[in-house]
Amino acid sequence: MASKNSNSIPLFLSAILGFFAVALGAFGAHGLKSVLTPDLLAIYETGARYHLIHAVVLLVLALSGKLSDSKFRRIGFWLIFSGILIFSGSLYALSLTGIRVLGAITPFGGLAFLTGWASIAYSAFSDKE
C-alpha cells in the first residue's frame, strides 16, 4: 500500500500547474488582447488551452491514488508534465517574444503529450508493480 504522502508531489505540481494555467489564461485574455497581434494571441491561447487541459489530467492522476500502482502511469504523469512545460512554454515564449524559431520546440512537447497518453493507456493493461 502506498504511503499517505506518496502523491504529495504530483498533487502539488498538478495544482500549481492548474493555478498558473488559469492565471496565464486570464493574463492572455485581459492583458495581452490589446498588445499581441491576433495570430500571436491565438498561439498564446493554444498554449493556455493545452496547459489547462493537461493540468487537469495530472490532477486526476494525482487524486486517483493510483500513480504508485503502475510504472507506466507514473511515466505518463511525468511525460504530460514535461509536455506542458515544453509545448505550452514554447508557445507562451513565442507569442510574447515573436521569435518564431521557438515554434520548433513545440512539437517535442506535443510528442511528450502523446507518449504520456499512450503510457497511461498502456498502464490499463500492464502488470501492477
Confidence of residue 4 (pLDDT cuts 50, 70, 90): low
Is this prediction's pTM over 0.95?
no
Tell me, letter by letter, the H, E, C secondary structure of 114-128: HHHHHHHHHHCCCCC
**Residue among 112, 105, 106, 111 nearest 47 (CA):** 106
Please report the pLDDT score of residue 128 as a whole number: 60
Mean pLDDT confidence for 52-66 = 95
Query: Mean pLDDT across the stretch 105-124?
Result: 97
Q: What DSSP string runs through 29-85?
A: IIISTTTS-HHHHHHHHHHHHHHHHHHHHHHHHHHHT-GGG-HHHHHHHHHHHHHII
**For 69-90, what is the mean pLDDT?**
96
pLDDT at 22 over 50: yes
pLDDT band at 68 (very low <50, low <70, confident <90, very high): confident
CA-to-CA separations, 78 to 17, 32, 47, 117, 119, in angstroms, rounded: 13, 30, 18, 11, 10
Distance CA 92, CA 87 (A): 9
Label residue 126 by pLDDT band (50, 70, 90).
confident
- From residue 68, give the alpha-carbon distance in Å to each of 10, 33, 84, 102: 11, 42, 22, 35
